[in-house]
Structure 1
Amino acid sequence: MRLNDAKPQKGSKKRGRRVGRGIAAGQGASCGLGMRGQNSRSGGGTRPGFEGGQQPLYRRLPKLKGFPLVNRVNYITINVEKLAGLPANSEVTLASLEAAGILTGSNRGLLKILGNGELSVALNVKAAAFTGSARSKIEAAGGSCEVAA
């Protein structure tokens, strides 16, 4: 048997309706499409996704990957293990970390302290945000956390 020998079973294919062939055929004149309107016309109907003039879904949604936040907050993150080398009771800010050489490059954003690593020195940390574990490690070492924008 070859692919060109394959045929549908007898009786499985019905012939199509012959519309517009008079009243006796059952689908005469308007061919079952009604009297007027877009869908009764030749070539009538709309393209897929057309919503009747309303702004369609594919144009309402934001473009490209994901839904970017309009006023996104850019954080510069640093772990507490990086702060361990600083002298005791020093004040830690974004400017002081740049001066110490811990942060390099263009640091545009707010400082956020993350809790990876261990800290044994007491530090006065001023940052925009702290994770829960970072706050607990800084305070356990005898330091203080101050939220400053």
Structure 2
Amino acid sequence: MRLNELKPAQGSRPGAKRVGRGPGSGSGKTAGRGMKGQKSRSGGYHKIGFEGGQMPLQRRLPKRGFRSLVRRRVAEVRLHELQQVEAGDIDLTALKTAGIVRHDAIRAKVIASGSIERAVVLRGIGVTRGAKEAIEQAGGKVEA
């Protein structure tokens, strides 16, 4: 038996009902759509959120917040990635040359993910509380 030979159990998947095929079929003529109206026509249905001309909910509610463009330019650096940088003093340019952060990053922040074994000095890079403890435990230090 192969995957392409698998078939559903007999009677578990009934065939699609064919509508609009004459009065003898039980669902001829209007094909279960009722009489007149927008929903009985072909292609006739309202778009999502349309409330019959009433101002829709998504337009009645106030706008809120915005998407910051700066947010994409703040890079996130993990602890184990700091070990890839050969320089002892690590700043934003050192991270860029090592290829850890994007060249258009304006800020970087180290998060406590992974571990660090060697001592490094961070300059001008943000750190979380857990990351700072791990760096200082490894013999490094964080400078503002």
- Using the size of structure 1 for normalisation, the TM-score is 0.48
Query: Larger Cα Rg: Structure 1 or Structure 2?
Result: 1
Relative to the length of structure 2, the TM-score reads 0.50
